[in-house]
Amino acid sequence: MSGNIQLLSDTLAAAKAEGRSALIAYLPAGFPTVHGGIEAIKAAFEGGADVVEVGLPHSDPVLDGPVIQTADDIALRGGVKIADVMRTVRETYEATGKPVLVMTYWNPIDRYGVERFTAELAEAGGAGCILPDLPVQESALWREHAEKQGLATVFVVAPSSKDARLAEITAAGSGFVYAASLMGVTGTRESVGAQAQDLVERTRAAGAGAALPVCVGLGVSNAEQAAEVAGFADGVIVGSAFVKRMLDAPDDKAGIEGVRALAGELAKGVRRQA
């Protein structure tokens, strides 16, 4: 089986054709268990997510906040392995037919082997990989194998990224560009929202030839914030809010229902602009 980059592109294009942003959910593999994580991802899709990112738990997730770090710790203590991540991708894709990406730091792939990782991800039906700490100038080997396997390579940009860097990333990436910013951490929420909107506009301008969708991970946690980001981004990425629903629930079943409910609320939010 080749990877599902076309399914990802078609899904984002279909959302755009409806006049709305795509809803992209993030949940770590192996949290609260491998089976429970698979059920949670299915619930996110059932609730209204268009795309799901499956996190590969890492012992030092430097770019993730405390909520996702807590979930990663639980998954790692449970013994989650790359094989479990691939199982998670396979079972959720087979159950839903929707695009599933893996989000991971570079070190686990480097240790596992790029050719092996891309082949297994494609065979599992994965749509691609988000690689937040892989510099574009060091990505040629990864991109060669990802392209061969039909997988998207999603790079992350930040408000600090210069225009030349944005152009380089949009030229090298595929699937979409992940625009990372922080809502409610630096300055007021309004100013951070404006910063994210500026980043989206600069990324689009830099990649005018590539025309990749720009999706924003902003700390969105409710329908109002989703609607706000949907006003300027091609996709709204939500992670910590889903994980928090799982962590705060009295049991796994309630957590999974919480994920489904939140996906429904956020799906309504991204459609307010339509």
Query: What is the per-residue pLDDT for 60?
Result: 76
Residue tagged active-site, from 39, 53, 84, 168: 53
Report which residue type is found at 220.
V
Query: What is the per-residue pLDDT for 190?
Result: 53
Beta-strand relationship, 177-180 and 152-154 = unpaired
Active site residue 64: yes
Which pTM value belongs to this model? 0.94
For the chain (274 residues), the mean pLDDT of every run of 10, in chain order, is 88 96 98 97 98 92 81 94 98 98 96 98 98 95 98 94 92 94 47 80 82 89 92 95 96 97 97 73
Query: 2-269: CATH homologous superfamily?
Result: Aldolase class I (3.20.20.70)
Two tokens, residue 66: 């405390």
Strands, E, within the chain: which ranges? 22-28, 51-55, 100-103, 128-130, 152-154, 156-157, 177-180, 214-217, 235-238
Q: For the chain, what are the domain ranges?
A: 2-269
Residue tagged active-site, from 39, 64, 72, 91: 64
Q: How far from the centroid of its chain's Cα atoms is residue 161's Cα?
A: 19
Q: How many CB atoms lie within 10 A of CB 172?
A: 15
Active site residue 53: yes
Block residue for tokens 């957590």 = 255
Q: What angle do CA 187, 20, 176 make, to 5 degrees?
A: 70
